A and B are shown apart, each in its own frame.
Chain A
Amino acid sequence: MVEEESLRVVRCGGSELNFRRAVFSADSKYVFCVSGDFIKVYSTATEECVHILQGHRNLVTGIQLNPKNHLQLYSCSFDGMIKLWDYTDGILIKTFIVGCKLHALFTLDCAEDSVFVTINKEKPDVFQLVSVKLPKSSSQEVEAKELSFVLDYINQSPKCIAFGNEGEYVAAVRDFYLSVYFFKKKTTSRFTLSSSRNKKHAKNNFTCVACHPKEDCIATGHRDGKIRLWRNFDDEKKYTYTCLHWHHDLVMDLAFSVTEGSSLLSGGRESVLVEWREAAEKNKEFLPRLGATIEHISVSPAGDLFCTSHSDNKMIIIHRNLEASAVIQGLVKDRNIFTGLMIDPRTKALVLNGKPGHLQFYSLQSDKQLYNLDIIQQEYISDYGLIQIELTKAAFGCYGNWLATVEQRQEKETELELQMKLWTYNKKTQGFVLNTKVNMPHEDHITALCFCNAEKSENPTLVTTSKDGHFKVWILTDDSDIYKKAVGWTCDFVGSYHKYQATNCCFSEDGSLLAVSFEEIVTIWDSETWELKCTFCQRAGKIRHLCFGRLTCSKYLLGATENGILCCWNLLSCALEWSAKLNVRVMEPDPNSENIAAISQSSMGSDLFVFRPSEPRPLYIQKNISREEVQWGVFVPRDVPESFTSEAYQWLNRSQFYFLTKSQSLLTFSMQSPEEKLTPTSKQLLAEETLPTTPFYFILGKHRQQQQDDKLNEALENELVQLPLTENIPAISELLHTPAHVLPSASFLCSMFVNSLLLSKETKSAEEIPDDVSMEEEKESVDSDEENNFTEEVQDTNNTDLGKDIIHQLSKSEEKELRKFRKVDYSWITAP
C-alpha cells in the first residue's frame, strides 16, 4: 500500500454504457453491457453492478450469450480477440485470437462452433461480415484464423446487421441498400430504395434493421422516421413492404419481441419507446419521456424485459407492460460541461452538468450517480436544432447549505434570457429547494460566481461577475412579515471598474477580501465596506483564472492570463512576488493544503504542475497527462488520508485530483487499478446474489465459512467495516444455544443483543499496537501471535478449531503480506 510506484493517470467515472446493445442473460436476472475495455454485469432487480469482466486490452465492441451454454458469454474487442466468460463467477474461460480489429459480434444457434464478426480489410470504410470457426482446444489461448466470408459492403454498426428466422438468412443495410444473404441457398438478394437524387426520398437512408426471429419478416428503420416491414424477400421481384410512420426523426433502433404475439419496438431522438403490436400502424403503445435519445433497444430471451440504452449514458430496464423498472445510470457525458467540476460538501459527490437542465451528483467512491437535481424545471423537447436553456454556472456555499445556479438561453445576439436561482438545502427532505429566482441578474452573460465560504461570516454572501462590466454582491436577507417567516436573496452592492468586463471573482480564505478581475486588471475589494482597496495590472492578457492562496500562503493572490503568464502577487506589499511563463488551462487550489494544481496546455499535450504560492518552484511535475485539452479539474478531499512518504507525491495525501478532458473522460492520478479502488463494503455486497442478503445474514450467515480461501481479504474487510466477532461474545452464544421456549421476550433480549454487537475496547487497542513501526523487529513474534488471534477472531465460523487449522497453514507469502498490512501507518486515527 505504501510502496511507491510511479503515479499513473487512471480513467474513472466509468465509460459509456450505451456503446452497444445490452444483452440479457437467459433467465433475465442479469444484463450485460460493454463499458470501455470492460464488460459490466448488472442485476436487473437491484441495478447493482455485480461483476466487471476485464481482460480485453482495447474497446470491447460486442457481446453475445453463448448459444450452447447460457451461462457463458462471448465478447469481441478492437484488440482482435474473442473471449469466452463465465459471467456468474466473473471468470475468463477462453481466449480466441483472431488478429484483426473486430467491430461487431453475432452468434447463431444453428451455426456450430462459429461466430460471426465484422471486420474491415482493405479500405477504411468497407466492412465485411465473416464467420470465424472457433477451434476446439483445451488450452486457454487459441488462435482462430479460419475466416469464411459471408457479406461484403456492410455498415460498421451492429445495428445494421440482423439474423432472422432461426438463422436462415442475414440482413444487412447500408445507405440505400438492404442485402439479404440466405445461408441455405448461399445467395444474396439486394433491394434498393430510391436514392437521394429525388428530393422527396432524400432521407430514405437505412439506419437499422431487425429480423423477426420466427417469421420471414425484416423491419428496417430510416432516417425520415419511417419503419418498413419487408416480406417475401426471397423473391427479388415479388417482395413487398409496408410502412409504419410515427417517428418524426430518424429511427435509432428496432427490436422484435415475440411473446404472446409479436410486437416491434422502436425508438429514436424523441426519447419515446414505441411498441407496435402485431406490426400494425394503429396498434401502438408509448412509453414517453425517457429523458434522452434512445440509442439501442434490446429484449430479453424470455421476452419479459426490455432494455433501452440512452445517449445520456443510461440504461432503463422496462417491463413488458411498458413500465420502467430500473435505471442504470452512469456519469452523464454527452453534453458540454459548463459548470465545471464541483464537490458537494455534504455528500462529497462530484457535481457537474448532467441531463439537459439537470445537475448530476455522482459518487466517485461507488462510481454511481446519486441523483439528478432538476434546475431548469421545464419540459425537455428533444428536437434537433432547438436552442435549449443551458445551465451555465453553479456554486455551492456555506457548507452545502446553499446552491446557486445560472441558466441562460440566447437565440439571437440581442435576446438573452438569463436566470439565477438560489437553492437551499432542506434537512427534512434531504434535498435542495428553490428559494430565490432572479430574472436577468445582469445585462449580459455571467462569467463567474462564488460564495464567501469563510467560517465567521454570519450572512451568506454571493458574488456574480458579468460581461456587462459589473459585479454584484448578493446577500441573504430576512423577508418575513407578520404572516410568514421567509428569507430571500437581494442585491447588496454593484461594483464596476472603468466599464471593463468582469471576468473572475474569488474570496480570500477568511472572507475579508474579494478579488475581481476586470479583463487585464485585478481589483481587491474589502468585503465589509465594499471599498476598492487596490488594483494589480500586469498587462499580460486577460485574466483567465484567479485564486487566493490558503493557510500559510493566504497572503498571496494568483492569476493566470490568456497570454500564458502565471502571476503571484503579495497582498501585504501589494507587489508582484513572482511570475512564470505557463499557459494555464486549469488552476485549482487544494482545500486541505497550500498546494495549487495548474494544468498547462502545449502542442504536445497537457502537463500538470503542483506548486505552492510561496515559492515559484513546483513541488511536482507530470508531463503529458493527457493528449487532449484538459477542461476542468478539482481536488476531492480524501475520506482516509493516504500516506505517501515520497516528497513528490505528498500533495496527494489529503486530497485526490480529478480532471476532465475535452472528450469528457474523467481522469485521476492513482497507483492502483480501478478494481482495487472498489471499497470492501461494496465488494461484500457483491458477495452472493442467490441468497437474500439481510443484515442478519452478514452477522450470522454462513458465507464467511465458504470464503476461507479468501481469508486474508476477508480480514481486511472486517477490519474496515468493523463488524464484531459474533462467535466469541457470550451473550450471543447463550442466546443461540438456549432453547427458544425458555428465552425471555425478544424486546428484553434486543438491547442486550445490540449492545453485544458494539465494538469492545480491547479490539481497538489491539489495532493500535502496531502503530509503533520502530518496534517491529523485536516484536515480530509477538506480533504474529497477535495476528493469529486477530484473524481468528475475525473468523466467523461455528467451528473455531477449523479456523485455527487454516491459519496455521498460512503460506510464507501470505504471512508476509499480513505483516505488511500490520505495518500500515495508522497515524491518521490519532490526528485530529
Chain B
Amino acid sequence: MAGYKPVAIQAYPVLGEKITQDTLYWNNYKTPVQIKEFGAVSKVDFSLQPPYNYAVTASSRIHIYGRYSQEPIKTFSRFKDTAYCATFRQDGKLLVAGSEDGGIQLFDISGRAPLRQFEGHTKAVHTVDFTADKYHVVSGADDYTVKLWDIPNSKEILTFKEHSDYVRCGCASKLNPDLFVTGSYDHTVKMFDARTNQSVISVEHGQPVESVLLFPSGGLLVSAGGRYIKVWDMLKGGQLLVSLKNHHKTVTCLCLSSSGQRLLSGSLDRKVKVYSTSSYKVVHSFDYAASILSLALAHEDETIVVGMTNGILSVKHRKSEAKKDSLPRRRRPAYRTFIKGKNYMKQQDDILINRPSKKHLELYDRDLKNFRISKALDRVLEPSCAIKTPEITVSIIKELNRRGVLANALAGRDEKEISRVLNFLIRNLSQPRFAPVLINAAEIIIDIYLPVIGQSPVVDKKFLLLQGLVEKEIDYQRELLETLGMMDMLFATMTSKESPSLLQHNASDGFLENKKIES
C-alpha cells in the first residue's frame, strides 16, 4: 500500500537574487579589509608565484603587500611624479612601472633602487608589461607611441606609432613572446607583432579603450571602454564575438578568474560584475563604496583586491573550508560489518533483490505520521526552525488545520509554550503569504486562552503586542486603500487600459481579514 506522504512544504519564490552556484561561490568571502592609500589606486597586480604578494600603484608610490598583511611589506617611492601600472614579471622577481614623466623603472623585488630605467617616451607612460620571454618590456604612453624595450641592455628595440591618441592600456600574450595588444583613446585596439614592425590586427572598439585582456590561450581578446565590454575572436582576424553593456558607467578594469570560466569587470558605477565566459551572461555582481579603478584576483580566486578612486583598497579573502566535525563522532559499527557479504559471488540462478531504499522522514513528519500533533507543532516552533524556515512552520500549521486538529494542538500549553507560539505569530502575522493561515491560528488561540487571560503578565504583554500589530496593519491597509482610490482617479482620467485591479483585490482582502480578527 502507499506509504505515508510527507507534508508538502509550500515553496515561495525567493525574492531578489537567485541562489545559484555562482552566487554561492562569489559570496563565500569574508568581510573586506580596507586599506587607505595616498591616492586613487590605479593598478593592482598579483605575483604569479607563491606567496602571491601583490603590488598596489597609488599616487607616486608602489606598495607590495603580502596576502594577509595589512601593512605594506615593501614600498617603492622613488618616483618624482605619479607612478602607473606596477606589474610583476611572471617569475615574481622583477617589477616594472611607468610614470607621469615618461620614464619606465624596473625594480628588483628584493632591492630598493631601480635596476633599469628606460628613457624614451615623452609623455606619461600608463601601461607597461613583460613579454612572454621575460626579457622584454612593452610600454604605451600618452605620446601615442608603443615601445618595446630590451631588459639586459636597457635599449629601445622597436617603436610603433600607429595610434592616434593616448595609449592607456596594454597586455602581452602569455604564449608568444612577440605578440602584444594595446588599447588607445583613439577607440582602437591593435595587436602588434615584434617581428613585423607594424600592427597585425586592429579592431574598432567604438569608445576610448580603458582596458584590454587576452585570454590565456591568446585566441580571445576582451576590450573595455565606455560602458561596453567587447570580446573579439583573434583567430578569425578580430571578429566581434559579443558586446556586453551591463555597467552604466565607464568600465575601467578587467580580470579573469583563475579557472578562466568567469570574467570580472570593474567600473566607475561602483560595481564589479562576473560574467560566464561561455554564455557571457552576468552571473553575479559585487557592490563597492566608490568608483573602481583596478581589480585583481589572487591564485585560485583566494583573494579579490579592488582599488578605488578614493584611495581605498578593499581586500576580500575567501572563507576557509568550515571544519564540520567539531562534534565528537558517534561510534560507528566496525569495518567488518560493512564488508560482510561483499565478496559473495553471484551464482547463476540467484536473483538479486535490492534492499528497498528507506525513505527519510523529517522529524515533524514522523510525529504527524503517528498523530502526535502537539509534538509536531512544538518541533516546528523551535527557534531553529521557526526563525530560519518559517514556511515549514506555517505549512505544518496549515496541515494541522486541514486535519481538523489545530485547536487540539494549540490547547493545553503553559506560559512558556504559548509565548513561543505568540512570538511566532507576532513575527510573521503581517506577511501576506502567511497571513491567511496565521490569522486563523491567532483566532483559535484567542478563543482557547480567553478565559485565562490576565494570569500571566508575559503572555498578556504578547497579546497586547499582537493587538498593536494588527491595529498598525489595519491603518496601513486603510492608507493603501486611500492611495489606491487616488490612483484609480488618476487612471480613470487616462485612457490606459491597464487597471490595477489585482493590487486592489489583495489590499481589500487583507483589509477584511484584519477587520475580522479585530472583532
Contacts and interface: CB of A to CB of B under 8 A. Distances in A.
A647 interface: no
Interface string A278-293: 0000000001111100
A748 interface: no
Residue of B402, B509, B516 with highest tally of chain A CB at under 10 A? B402
A290 B281 CA distance: 52
Interface in B281-327: 281, 283
A387 B401 CA distance: 10
A289 B2 CA distance: 7
B30 to A, nearest CB: 26
Contact of A290 (B1, B278, B399, B404): B1
A494 B498 CA distance: 10
Given A291-B1, A377-B5, A443-B505, A482 B402 contact: no
Contacts of A572: none
B279 interface: yes
A378 B1 contact: no
7 contacts: A287-B1, A291-B1, A379-B368, A386-B403, A389-B402, A414-B512, A439-B10
B440 A415 contact: yes
Nearest to B371: A381
Nearest to B512: A414
B312 to A, nearest CB: 33
Nearest to A372: B2
Given A482-B276, A482-B278, A379 B5 contact: yes
B4 interface: yes
Given A378-B5, A383-B404, 6 more contacts: A316-B1, A414-B513, A481-B20, A482-B276, A482-B281, A494-B502
B1 A289 contact: yes
Interface residues of A, number: 29
A143 to B, nearest CB: 48
A146 B509 CA distance: 73
Nearest to B506: A443
B275 to A, nearest CB: 10
A385 B404 contact: yes
Interface string A386-401: 1101000000000000
B7 A378 contact: yes
A483 interface: yes
Contacts of A481: 20, 281
A113 interface: no
Given A385-B404, A482-B276, A291 B2 contact: yes
Interface of B: 1-8, 10-11, 20-21, 276, 278-279, 281, 283, 368-369, 399, 401-404, 436, 440, 501-502, 505, 509, 512-513, 516
Contacts of B283: 482
A409 interface: yes
A468 interface: yes
B465 to A, nearest CB: 25
A324 interface: yes
Contacts of B404: 381, 383, 385-386
Contacts of B11: 437
B402 A289 contact: no
Given A386-B403, A409-B402, A415 B436 contact: yes
Residue of B5, B7, B283 with highest tally of chain A CB at under 10 A? B5
A383 B403 contact: yes
A436 B40 CA distance: 51
B195 to A, nearest CB: 40
A324 B368 CA distance: 24
Contacts of A468: 505
A678 to B, nearest CB: 30
A287 B4 CA distance: 12
A289 B509 CA distance: 38
B281 A324 contact: no
Contact of A483 (B7, B20, B436): B20
A281 to B, nearest CB: 19
Interface in A473-521: 481-483, 494, 496
A819 to B, nearest CB: 54
Contact of B403 (A287, A381, A439): A381
Given A409-B402, A482-B276, A379 B4 contact: yes
B339 to A, nearest CB: 32
Contacts of A381: 402-404
Contacts of B402: 378, 381, 386-387, 389, 409
Given A383-B404, A443-B505, A482-B283, A377 B1 contact: no
A484 to B, nearest CB: 10
A417 B505 CA distance: 15
Contacts of B368: 379
B57 to A, nearest CB: 35
A378 B21 contact: no
Interface string A632-654: 00000000000000000000000
A289 B20 contact: no
B245 to A, nearest CB: 19
Nearest to A389: B402
Residue of B7, B276, B368, B501 with highest tally of chain A CB at under 10 A? B501
Interface in A274-329: 287-291, 316, 324
Name the 10 nearest CB pairs between A and B, nearest first. A379-B5, A482-B279, A381-B403, A386-B404, A289-B1, A443-B505, A324-B1, A482-B276, A483-B20, A289-B2
A533 to B, nearest CB: 16
Interface in A366-387: 377-379, 381, 383, 385-387
A777 to B, nearest CB: 63
Nearest to B20: A483
Contacts of A291: 1-2
A415 B437 CA distance: 9
Interface in A206-221: none
Contacts of A387: 402
A595 to B, nearest CB: 40
A489 B228 CA distance: 34
Contacts of B276: 482
Contacts of B369: 379
Contacts of B399: 378
Contacts of B278: 482
A455 to B, nearest CB: 32
A496 B501 CA distance: 11
Contacts of B10: 439
Contact of A289 (B4, B401, B436): B4
Nearest to A273: B1
Contacts of B516: 414
Nearest to A290: B1
A415 B440 CA distance: 9
Contacts of A415: 436, 440
A385 B368 CA distance: 20
Interface in A325-384: 377-379, 381, 383
A378 B399 CA distance: 9
A536 to B, nearest CB: 22
